[in-house]
């Protein structure tokens, strides 16, 4: 009798594992179907991966501020990481400030040095090839409550060698357990049914919300209508201002978004409104 045992195909490389779709799972369970994979996405927030890219410290990803350390690196607490393995993580921004004037530094009260921090999934790509190895990391010499510009010389920085963490358990597509704590991969996710609908400017469906609705032509050749976020449909458009009490607020959306947001069909409220 022939051997009737079933043959099992077991993917051995990470790419195959990441693309494997388990029986019964829809296609949207695959990572490649995600709305976004960086800032921050709807399924997972990869920014939280970079926080522990280097052993011994935890960084605030958006501005490289050291918020936690192991005892051996306590002297780095509240400093900022400026470069690693000779690759800068920070630069200064300049550009037009006023029409007709030459470009200048783009500074603000909160960012007096006009500093821009580079996006980590790009700036760390080469360094992650050295996972398990030590690389030279350059930090601000002093604690830095404000964002700091790139160093002009090595003497301007505090240089420490740190190990680059391995992102995956060896031979698998699973994140290393010391890289993420439970729940961190979904912290900071977009909330499209709530605050995203209020002011999101990302290029996905929550930002494609209606704007000018219930539009009617006027005798002068113009039009009148409502802002979709208006609490009362008056026919007089209210300019978007999150402080304007005539518009739906963040609190309104968090408490009762399903009552505040109207479906729009062919440019008009789908349900009747007694406010017009």
| H runs (alpha helix) in the chain | 14-19, 47-50, 120-123, 195-199, 250-260
**Across 65-81, average pLDDT:** 96
Apex 136 CA angle, 131 and 142, nearest 5: 130
Is residue 101 in some structural domain? yes
SS3 call for 58: strand
E-assigned strand segments in the chain: 57-60, 65-69, 81-84, 87-88, 90-92, 94-95, 104-105, 115-117, 134-140, 157-163, 212-217, 223-227, 264-265, 268-269
Residues 149 and 255 in one domain: no
Residues 6+ apart with CB under 8 A from 59: 50, 51, 52, 53, 65, 66, 67, 81
**Across 32-51, average pLDDT:** 67
The boundaries of the domain holding residue 92 are 47-179
pTM of the model: 0.64
Is residue 78 in some structural domain? yes
Residues 149 and 244 in one domain: no
pLDDT of amino acid 245: 93
pLDDT of amino acid 210: 79
Residues 265 and 154 in one domain: no
E-assigned strand segments in 85-222: 87-88, 90-92, 94-95, 104-105, 115-117, 134-140, 157-163, 212-217
pLDDT-derived band at 276 (thresholds 50, 70, 90) equals: very low
Q: In whole angstroms, what separates CA 207 from the centre of its chain? A: 15
Per-residue pLDDT reduced to its tens digit, 151-161: 887 688 999 99
Lowest-pLDDT choice from 20-29, 94-103, 183-192: 183-192
SS3 call for 216: strand
**Across 207-213, average pLDDT:** 76
Top mean-pLDDT range of 43-47, 120-124, 197-201? 120-124
**Across 104-114, average pLDDT:** 89
Q: What is the CA radius of gyration of the chain?
A: 25
Tokens of 258: 């399903």
Rounded Cα distance between 44 and 58, Å, is 19
Residue 136, pLDDT above cutoff 90: yes
pLDDT of amino acid 40: 53
- Structural domains counted in the chain: 2
Residues 56 and 131 in one domain: yes
Is residue 8 in some structural domain? no
Residues 164 and 55 in one domain: yes
DSSP-assigned letter for residue 221 = S
Is residue 98 in some structural domain? yes
Residues 121 and 58 in one domain: yes
Inter-residue contact 271 to 259 (CB < 8 Å): no
Bridge partners of residue 59, in order along the sequence: 66
Is residue 41 in some structural domain? no
Rounded Cα distance between 17 and 209, Å, is 36
Residues 96 and 51 in one domain: yes
pLDDT of amino acid 226: 95
The mean pLDDT value of the chain amounts to: 83
Is residue 83 in some structural domain? yes
Residues 165 and 204 in one domain: no
Residue 274, pLDDT above cutoff 50: no
Lowest-pLDDT choice from 66-70, 83-87, 199-203, 238-242: 199-203
Per-residue pLDDT reduced to its tens digit, 8-19: 776 667 777 778
Q: What is the dihedral of CA 254, 257, 259, 260, to 10 degrees?
A: 100
Per-residue pLDDT reduced to its tens digit, 113-125: 899 988 888 888 8
Domain boundary among 179, 207, 240: 179
Residue 77, pLDDT above cutoff 90: yes
């Amino acid at each position: 009798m022939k051997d009737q045992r079933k043959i099992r195909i077991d993917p051995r490389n990470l790419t195959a594992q990441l693309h494997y779709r388990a029986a019964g799972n829809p296609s949207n369970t695959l990572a490649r179907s995600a709305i976004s994979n960086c800032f921050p996405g709807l399924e997972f927030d990869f920014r939280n991966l970079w926080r522990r890219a280097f052993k011994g410290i935890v960084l605030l990803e958006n501005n490289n501020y050291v918020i936690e350390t192991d005892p051996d690196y306590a002297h780095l607490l509240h400093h900022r990481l400026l470069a690693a393995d000779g690759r800068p993580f920070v630069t200064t921004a300049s550009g037009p400030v006023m029409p007709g004037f030459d470009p200048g530094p783009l500074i603000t009260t909160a960012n007096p040095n006009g500093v821009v921090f580079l996006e980590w999934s790009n700036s760390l790509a080469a360094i992650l090839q050295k996972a398990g190895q030590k690389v030279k990391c350059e930090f601000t010499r002093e604690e830095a409550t404000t964002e700091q510009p790139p160093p002009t010389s090595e003497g301007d920085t505090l240089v420490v060698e740190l190990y680059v963490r391995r992102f995956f358990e060896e031979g698998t597509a699973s994140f290393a357990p010391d890289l993420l704590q439970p729940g961190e991969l979904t912290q900071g996710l977009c909330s499209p049914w709530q605050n995203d609908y209020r002011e999101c400017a990302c290029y996905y469906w929550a930002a494609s919300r209606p704007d000018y609705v219930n539009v009617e032509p006027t005798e002068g050749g113009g039009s009148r209508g409502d802002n979709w976020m208006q609490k009362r449909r008056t026919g007089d458009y209210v300019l978007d201002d999150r402080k304007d009490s005539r518009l739906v607020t963040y609190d309104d959306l968090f408490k009762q978004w399903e009552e505040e947001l109207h479906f729009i069909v062919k440019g008009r409220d789908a349900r009747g409104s007694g406010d017009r």
